[in-house]
Structures are given as structure tokens and as C-alpha cells.
Amino acid sequence: MTATLIDGKAFAAGLRARIAAQTAALKDRGITPGLAVVLVGEDPASQVYVRSKGRMTVEVGMNSYEHRLPAETPEAELLALIARLNEDPAVNGILVQLPLPAHMDEAAVINAIRPEKDVDGFHVLNAGRLATGQKAMVPCTPLGCLMLLRDRLGDLSGKSAVVIGRSNIVGKPMAQLLLRDSCTVTIAHSRTQDLPALCRGADILVAAVGRPHFVKGDWIKPGATVIDVGINRIDSGLVGDVDFAGARQAAGAITPVPGGVGPMTIACLLANTLTATARANG
């Protein structure tokens, strides 16, 4: 069996088109959604992400506000900027690009963002709301994965899901979202015993470990849906956390890297910005 490819690039393009239409409708009411992106320092990967975010924000008709601060900026200065953005009615969403320089307290910075404007969904209140079934801003990458899974599988209820990775950005919120959709969820991590056997029981396998080709083809349950969150740069180019060639032989459907989950992240950021704008304007 050769797996169906899950085309995240096409799905994300469709989502952005729907967001653009809704943005145009808001603009007819005199409301233009605004997204502020803050980049501290000069991490090359972060610069690429921030540039793409700005471009796509403008492409769907929203206002993009970019703030670039030097790596040595005192934390108090970043917090003062966030306080200004929190109060700015033109700014509906605030994203502080991670990682931050080592002298900054990442949690303190994220928790300084008003939860309603936290389009990354990283604020502790949004994490708590998601975990307790309340209306939350949901982190973009797991939200994108969930959309692809629902599109492929429909109702996820009762499915066995294994999430490899326990980060606050992907693994934990992904598990919460799958649980909310009534999956039986296991979170695996570096201390998990017999990971291949665990994965072989998964109808849904989400890999978010950040290690190239970590998940092997013979770990995949025949017919399973495999979501590869990894974006790893190796000599031959970009690869995921899943050994794609091997996994493709067993899986029912799989996301490619690139062109799978990646494009969904920014599309979901724009979706969250639209949601934040709609909530701010009743």
C-alpha cells in the first residue's frame, strides 16, 4: 500500500482564501485585523519565519506591524513594547517570535501578552482554557494538524493517537486537541519505553521531536494517518521527523515535508488573528 499524500500546502491556500474573504467583509464594516510580530535578535530561521508571516498577513488583507529589536534589548523594554501593543486597538494579535535571547524569561514575556491577543495560544491562561474545555486561543501548529486530520478522517472519536514530543508549543496542545475530539491519546517522549511498539498501535501518529527521520516505516500501523511536524535541515535539504519513504509504504495517509504541516502554521496564525478580531468587535 502506498499512502495518500496530505496536501497541507493546498489546504492552507484554501484556508487563507477563506480568511481573505472574511477579512474583506470585516473591512466593509470599517474593521481591519492587525497582527503585530516581534522579533528579538537575528536568528536566521526566525527572520525567515517573520518575513513569511508579514507577507501572508498583508496578502489576506490584514495590517502587519513588525517590531525588530536587537538581541541585547533589556527584557523590560520588550515588556514595555508588549504593554503598548496590548493597549493598541489597531493590534488584534501579538506574536513574539521564539526562541528569545537567553537573558529573557520566555514565560514572563509570553504571559505579558493579553490572552485575547495571544494568537500563538502560548499564554498560560490559553493553555489552561484549552486543557479545561473553555474557549481558548489554540496554538497554530497543532490546530493546523487537527484540521488536516479532520479533513482526512472526519470524526476522530475513539481513535488511538500517539503524539511523539511533549513541548508546550506542539506536543501538549496537540494531545489536548485530540483528547477534545475523543481520541485515546498517548504522549511519548525521550524516556518512553519501546516506542516502536507504542507507535504500531496508533491510528493517528503525530511526530514532533525535531530529529530527522526518527520515526521508521516499520513503526507505522498499516493504514494509519501520519502527521509529520518536523522541519529538519540536513545536507540533502528539508526533511521531517518521519522516514517518509519507509512510512509511505505502510501508512494510509501522510503529510510530506515540505508541503504538509508547515504551510498550515501561518494559515492558522491568520485564522487566530481573525478570531481575535471578531471577538474584540463583538
Interface residue list for ligand GUN (CB under 6 A): 95-98, 120, 140-141, 169
Does 167 carry a binding-site annotation?
Answer: yes
**Alpha-carbon distance 137 to 175, whole Å?**
15
Residue 6 or 169 having the CB closest to ligand GUN = 169
For residues 106 and 76, is the Cβ–Cβ distance under 8 A? Answer: no
Does 165 carry a binding-site annotation?
Answer: yes
Q: C-alpha distances in angstroms, 71 versus 52, 104, 132, 194?
A: 21, 10, 36, 41
Instruction: Give me the least distance between CB of 165 and ligand GUN, in Å please.
Output: 13
The CB-nearest residue to ligand GUN is: 98
For residues 239 and 215, is the Cβ–Cβ distance under 8 A? Answer: no
**Alpha-carbon distance 55 to 126, whole Å?**
26
Residue 235 CA from chain centroid, whole number: 25
Active centre residues (catalytic)? 53, 97, 120
Instruction: Give me the least distance between CB of 99 and ligand GUN, in Å please.
Output: 7
Instruction: Give me the least distance between CB of 120 and ligand GUN, in Å please.
Output: 5
Helices (H) and strands (E) in the chain, counts: 10, 11
Residue 20 or 98 having the CB closest to ligand GUN = 98
Residue 225 or 265 having the CB closest to ligand GUN = 265
Grid cell at residue 91? 493590534
Q: Which residues are annotated as a binding site?
A: 165-167, 231
Q: Which residues are annotated as a binding site for NADP(+)?
A: 165-167, 231
